[in-house]
């Protein structure tokens, strides 16, 4: 394999980050794998740009930012969308970056299963289909004999899935505890440092673009619960779905509660716990100066193993290029495995 033709489905912040990252790292990918990566299609929610000869990644991003739709891409823009894009062009790997949907997992579920049916590898940043139908999706990949990788679905740039499966593969994973949502960590960190009320910091976070206009998935713990399910299935072999996680968010945390914790040298963090006995996301007290004492939008996780003891990782849990970095790492692994 000397060329890998990719489709980027979903062209919001993450999809654009992937396009930018491919543009920046084409030479590096070729050096590491001997394979040239070519984007042959990119699609947003209703339009796309498709060319078997390849598209200009920077022009894709500029077109989306300036025109708001990929159909405005010169010469190759069109109104083809959804699974139809996968039929419109020859490709080797689907890079799936559509928004997470925890109601019915669409469009990620249909796109991913269609790619498997076509015998194509898939890299995803999506949590919806993994949180709702992990076994079904992973099983479909195995049945099709294709590679499916999803490092970016948990913790953005923070390496957790690949680290655990590959770097410490000699170890049995006993449990994982961590901060798996950057938005809530930012809000709680600011409340701690400034003594401000939750509502004030949330509004500021929204103005800065750290929190979504509708912050429910983050602040009510839903996002972290999805990631908990993915880690439970992929790293501990627990057959779980989103409904198996006990979830409580941070919207009830008061500045008074944070001040009381500080007096005893504690912090309040939204902690996800993954173990055979407990799948839970909830605000907890953690000791100041411990490995859980990370600020801003950082994520962290402590993996408890039988041989290596506890291993902690920290990394940026969100961001366009940061998440794209994990997706490109997955793509490189797929290409290496094919050679």
- Over residues 86-100, mean pLDDT: 97
Name beta bridge partners: 315. Answer: 299
How far is Cα 106 from Cα 268, in angstroms, rounded to an integer? Answer: 34
How far is Cα 41 from Cα 60, in angstroms, rounded to an integer? Answer: 10
Q: Which tens digit of pLDDT belongs to each residue from 282-318?
A: 999 999 999 999 999 999 999 999 999 999 999 988 7
Same-domain pairing of 186 and 128: no
The CATH number of the domain holding residue 123 is 3.40.50.720
The CATH number of the domain holding residue 304 is 3.30.360.10
Q: Count up the domains in the chain and report the number.
A: 2
> By residue range, what is the domain housing residue 329?
3-156+320-338
- Over residues 72-97, mean pLDDT: 97
Strands 246-247, 310-316: pairing is unpaired
Same-domain pairing of 118 and 243: no
Same-domain pairing of 19 and 137: yes
Name beta bridge partners: 304. Answer: 175, 310
Torsion of Cα atoms, 220 then 222 then 228 then 230, to 10°:
-170
138: left (phi over 0), alpha (psi -120 to 50) or beta: alpha
Q: Which tens digit of pLDDT belongs to each residue from 228-261?
A: 999 999 999 999 999 999 999 999 999 999 999 9
How far is Cα 202 from Cα 38, in angstroms, rounded to an integer? Answer: 40
Same-domain pairing of 46 and 30: yes
Q: Is the pLDDT of residue 339 over 90?
A: no
Same-domain pairing of 136 and 170: no
**Nearest Cα to Cα of residue 63 among 44, 83, 45:** 44
pLDDT at 54: 97
Same-domain pairing of 205 and 112: no
Residues 6+ apart with CB under 8 A from 277: none
As a whole number of Å, the end-to-end CA separation of the chain is 7
pLDDT at 299: 96
Identify whether 248 is a catalytic site residue.
no
How far is Cα 299 from Cα 155, in angstroms, rounded to an integer? Answer: 6
pLDDT at 150: 98
Same-domain pairing of 92 and 235: no
Q: Which tens digit of pLDDT belongs to each residue from 2-13?
A: 999 999 999 999
Name beta bridge partners: 301. Answer: 178, 313
Same-domain pairing of 10 and 143: yes
**Nearest Cα to Cα of residue 3 among 90, 130, 81:** 90
Q: Which tens digit of pLDDT belongs to each residue from 36-66?
A: 999 999 999 999 999 999 999 999 999 999 9
pLDDT at 209: 83
Q: Which tens digit of pLDDT belongs to each residue from 151-171?
A: 999 998 899 999 999 999 999
Torsion of Cα atoms, 306 then 139 then 114 then 22, to 10°:
20
- Buried b or exposed e, range 285-316, using 16+ CB within 10 angstroms: ebeeeebbebeebbbbbbbbbeeeeebebbbb
Per-residue pLDDT band for 211 (boundaries 50, 70, 90) equals confident
pLDDT at 258: 96
Same-domain pairing of 204 and 102: no
Q: Is the whole model's pTM more than 0.85, yes or no?
A: yes
pLDDT at 71: 97
Same-domain pairing of 220 and 91: no
pLDDT at 212: 86
Q: Helix H segments across the chain?
A: 13-33, 57-67, 84-88, 108-117, 128-144, 161-162, 182-194, 198-208, 216-219, 222-236, 255-263, 320-338
Same-domain pairing of 102 and 86: yes
Same-domain pairing of 55 and 182: no
The catalytic position among 64, 114, 227, 269 is 227
């Amino acid at each position: 394999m000397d060329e890998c033709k990719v489709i980027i489905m979903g062209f919001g912040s993450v999809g654009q980050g992937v396009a930018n990252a491919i543009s920046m790292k084409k030479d590096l990918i070729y050096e590491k794998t001997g394979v040239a990566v070519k984007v042959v299609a990119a699609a947003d929610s209703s339009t796309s740009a498709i060319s078997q000869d390849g598209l200009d990644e920077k022009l894709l991003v500029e077109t989306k930012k300036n025109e708001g739709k990929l159909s405005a891409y010169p010469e190759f823009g069109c109104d083809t969308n959804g699974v139809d894009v996968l039929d419109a062009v020859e490709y080797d790997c689907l890079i799936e970056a559509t928004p997470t949907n925890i109601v019915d997992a669409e469009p990620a579920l249909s796109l991913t299963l269609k790619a498997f049916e076509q015998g194509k590898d898939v890299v995803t940043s999506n949590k919806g289909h993994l949180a709702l139908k992990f076994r079904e999706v992973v099983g479909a990949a195995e049945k099709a004999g294709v590679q499916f990788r999803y490092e970016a679905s948990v913790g953005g740039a923070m390496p957790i899935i690949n680290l655990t499966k590959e770097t410490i593969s000699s170890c049995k994973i006993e449990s994982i505890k961590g901060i798996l949502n950057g938005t809530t960590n930012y809000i709680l960190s600011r409340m701690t440092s400034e003594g401000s009320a939750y509502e004030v910091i949330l509004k500021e976070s929204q103005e800065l673009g750290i929190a979504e206009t509708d912050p429910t998935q983050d602040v009510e713990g839903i996002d972290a619960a999805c990631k908990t399910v993915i880690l439970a299935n992929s790293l501990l072999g627990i057959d779980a779905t989103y409904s198996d996680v006990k979830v409580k968010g941070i919207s009830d945390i008061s500045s008074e509660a944070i001040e009381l914790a500080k007096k005893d040298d504690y912090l309040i963090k939204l902690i996800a716990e993954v173990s055979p006995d407990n799948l839970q996301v909830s605000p907890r007290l953690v000791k100041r100066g411990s490995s859980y004492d990370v600020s801003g939008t950082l994520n962290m996780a402590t993996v408890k193993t039988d041989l290596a003891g506890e291993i902690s990782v920290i990394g940026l849990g969100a961001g366009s290029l940061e998440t794209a970095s994990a997706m490109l790492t997955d793509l490189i692994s797929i290409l290496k495995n094919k050679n």
